[in-house]
Amino acid sequence: MSPTLALGCASLGNLYRAIDDERATATVDAAWDAGIRYFDTAPHYGLGLSERRLGAALADRPRASYTVSTKVGRMLEPVPGGGDQMDDGGFAVPATHRRVWDFSRDGVRRCLDESLDRLGLDRIDLVLLHDPEDHADQAIAEGYPALAELRDQGVVGAIGTGSKDVPFLTRFVTECEPDEIIVAGRYTLLEQPALDTILPACAAAGTAVLNAGVFNSGLLAVERPHAGLPYEYGPAPAAVVERAAAIAEVCVAHGTTLPAAALAFAGSHPVVRSVIVGADSPDQVRRNAALFGTPPPAELWPALVEAGLLDPRVLP
pLDDT digits (tens, 9 = 90+) for 237-263: 999 999 999 999 999 999 999 999 999
- Which one is catalytic: 16, 38, 45, 144? 45
Architecture of the 4-236+258-295 domain: Alpha-Beta Barrel (3.20)
pLDDT in the model for residue 2: 86
CA distance 231 to 218: 7
CA separation, residue 149 to residues 68, 79, 145, 159, 232 (Å): 19, 31, 6, 10, 34
Known catalytic residue at 45 = yes
Q: Collapse the DSSP code of 117 into the 3-class scheme (helix H, G, I; strand E, B; otherwise coil) and give the result.
A: helix
Q: How many CA atoms lie within 13 A of 234 on its CB side?
A: 3
pTM: 0.97
pLDDT band with cut points at 50, 70 and 90 for residue 182: very high
CA distance 194 to 184: 10
pLDDT in the model for residue 316: 82
